[in-house]
């Protein structure tokens, strides 16, 4: 119950501390009879190895830190899941910190993990200033940006091409014959949002169209519903005939507003495209067309790339970018 160290185990089993260590770590050549004696002593005394001492001596931590924006967003839940799997396979444990888009908390977790001497740190940063991360990386903790490009900072990153995704969404909307598209989303300080808009607007302008923006404060269902209420209240001539939402939560909320507060039909009167393709997108009453991001793969690749970079001698930074994929469902006209 109290303090049981290898010392006590060794005494009880009548061997030296070194031998106990060997037994506990399985590996080394220890006589079967000795191993048995030691294991009995361990059970009898209820010995639990002290990870702090182990790590202090060995210098390793065998864990990775992940700091995400928001665990309750299904997209990040998937990223975490993929990262977890990759860690399992590498025999590492994954410690998760949830910043809740709070820069202070994010910073706290980054420091905590650095002190913990994690083998690496995966971060989706909230703000635009990445200098803390750069400095942490400089002090010996490898950092990998997740879902955020390294633009100008000496950091590695794994991202999905948001500009291409935005373009895809608009491409599909225009191919369906819509002529008055709009963008729903915000805040534009999030690069994810800004880039999706950039790609979408670029494509719209190629067809000689404007792309009006209905801004939101957050990327939540409620924000989407509020935006939807405004849109459906517009007179027929001014109302968009298609909206591209910066993420699926917005799209779900928007759809609710359309169904609750108007007689507009989806997709005939108004088409809706979301982003992320979260599991719930498939579960809305009018199944949602969405730009799918390979969320689990993103998490998995972030871990794997980080481990690779750790293993290699050269300390280059890599920027890995995935391409999103359009998933067409009932909320838009097919082709």
State in angstroms the smallest separation of the CB of 4 from a copy of itself.
8
Q: 72 Cβ partners below 8 Å, 6+ apart?
A: none
Distance in angstroms (rounded) separating the CA atoms of residues 78 and 279: 10
Among 28, 44, 285, 323, which residue interacts with a copy of itself (rule: CB under 8 A)? Answer: 285
| Lateral strand order in the sheet of 213-215 | 213-215, 181-185, 242-245, 271-276, 289-292, 325-327
CB nearer to DNA: pick between 54 and 318: 54
Q: What is the dihedral of CA 308, 313, 319, 323, to 10 degrees?
A: -30
Among 25, 51, 179, 312, which residue interacts with a copy of itself (rule: CB under 8 A)? Answer: 51
Give the one entry of DNA, a copy of itself, none that residue 289 binds, where binding means its C-beta sits below a cut-off of 5 to 8 angstroms depending on kind: none
Strands 143-146 and 156-160, how do they pair? parallel
State in angstroms the smallest separation of the CB of 237 from a copy of itself.
28
Give the one entry of DNA, a copy of itself, none that residue 233 binds, where binding means its C-beta sits below a cut-off of 5 to 8 angstroms depending on kind: none
81 binds a copy of itself (CB under 8 A): yes
317 binds a copy of itself (CB under 8 A): no
Q: 213 Cβ partners below 8 Å, 6+ apart?
A: 182, 183, 184, 185, 186, 197
Among 26, 27, 32, 48, which residue interacts with a copy of itself (rule: CB under 8 A)? Answer: 48
CB nearer to DNA: pick between 42 and 249: 42
Distance in angstroms (rounded) separating the CA atoms of residues 210 and 66: 39
CB nearer to a copy of itself: pick between 81 and 318: 81
Strands 181-185 and 156-160, how do they pair? unpaired
Bridge partners (DSSP) of residue 116 are none
Distance in angstroms (rounded) separating the CA atoms of residues 306 and 223: 35
Which residue's structure tokens are 């169904």?
Answer: 259
Among 131-139, 163-171, 261-269, 305-313, the segment contacting a copy of itself (CB under 8 A): 131-139
The CA-to-CA distance between both ends of the chain, in Å, stands at 68
Among 262, 280, 297, 320, which residue interacts with a copy of itself (rule: CB under 8 A)? Answer: 280
Give the one entry of DNA, a copy of itself, none that residue 97 binds, where binding means its C-beta sits below a cut-off of 5 to 8 angstroms depending on kind: a copy of itself
Give the one entry of DNA, a copy of itself, none that residue 34 binds, where binding means its C-beta sits below a cut-off of 5 to 8 angstroms depending on kind: DNA
Neighbours of 206 (CB within 10 A): 12
- For 312, phi then psi, to 5°, come to -75, 155
Radius of gyration of the chain, Cα coordinates, nearest whole angstrom? 26
Please give the residues from 247 up to 266 whose contact with a copy of itself meets the rule CB under 8 A. 252-253, 256, 259
Q: Which helix (H) or strand (E) covers residue 143, if one does?
A: strand 143-146
Among 20, 221, 231, 303, which residue interacts with a copy of itself (rule: CB under 8 A)? Answer: 221
Give the one entry of DNA, a copy of itself, none that residue 183 binds, where binding means its C-beta sits below a cut-off of 5 to 8 angstroms depending on kind: none
> Which residues here bind a copy of itself, judged by CB under 8 A?
1-2, 4, 46, 48-56, 61, 71-72, 74, 77-78, 80-81, 84, 88, 93, 95-98, 105, 109, 112, 114-117, 135, 138-141, 221, 252-253, 256, 259, 279-280, 283-285
């Amino acid at each position: 119950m109290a303090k049981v160290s290898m010392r006590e185990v060794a005494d009880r089993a009548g061997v030296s501390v070194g031998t106990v260590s060997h037994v506990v770590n399985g590996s080394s050549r220890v006589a079967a009879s000795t191993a048995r004696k030691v294991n009995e002593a361990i059970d009898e005394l209820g010995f639990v190895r002290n990870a702090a001492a182990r790590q202090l001596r060995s210098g390793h931590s065998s864990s990775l830190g992940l700091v995400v924006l928001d665990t309750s967003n299904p997209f990040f839940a998937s990223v975490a899941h993929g990262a977890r799997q990759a860690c399992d396979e590498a025999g590492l444990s994954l410690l998760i910190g949830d910043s809740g888009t709070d820069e202070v908390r994010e910073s706290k977790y980054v420091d905590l993990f650095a002190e913990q001497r994690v083998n690496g740190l995966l971060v989706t940063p909230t703000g635009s200033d990445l200098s803390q991360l750069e400095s942490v990386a400089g002090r010996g903790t490898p950092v990998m940006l997740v879902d955020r490009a390294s633009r100008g900072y000496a950091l590695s990153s794994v991202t999905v091409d948001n500009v291409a995704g935005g373009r895809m969404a608009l491409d599909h909307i225009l191919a369906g014959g819509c002529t008055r598209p709009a963008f729903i989303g915000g805040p534009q300080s999030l690069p994810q949002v800004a880039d999706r808009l950039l790609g979408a607007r670029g494509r719209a302008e190629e067809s000689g169209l404007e792309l009006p923006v209905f801004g939101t404060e957050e990327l939540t269902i409620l924000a989407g519903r509020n935006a939807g209420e405004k849109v459906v209240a517009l007179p027929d001539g001014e109302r968009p005939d298609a909206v591209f939402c910066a993420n699926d939560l917005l799209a779900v909320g928007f759809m609710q507003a359309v169904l609750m507060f108007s007689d507009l039909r989806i997709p005939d009167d108004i088409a809706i495209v979301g982003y992320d393709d979260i599991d719930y997108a498939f579960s809305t009453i009018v199944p949602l067309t969405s730009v799918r991001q390979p969320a689990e793969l993103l998490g998995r690749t972030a871990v794997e790339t980080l481990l690779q970079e750790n293993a290699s001698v050269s300390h280059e930074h890599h920027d890995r970018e995935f391409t999103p994929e359009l998933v067409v469902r009932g909320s838009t006209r097919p082709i």
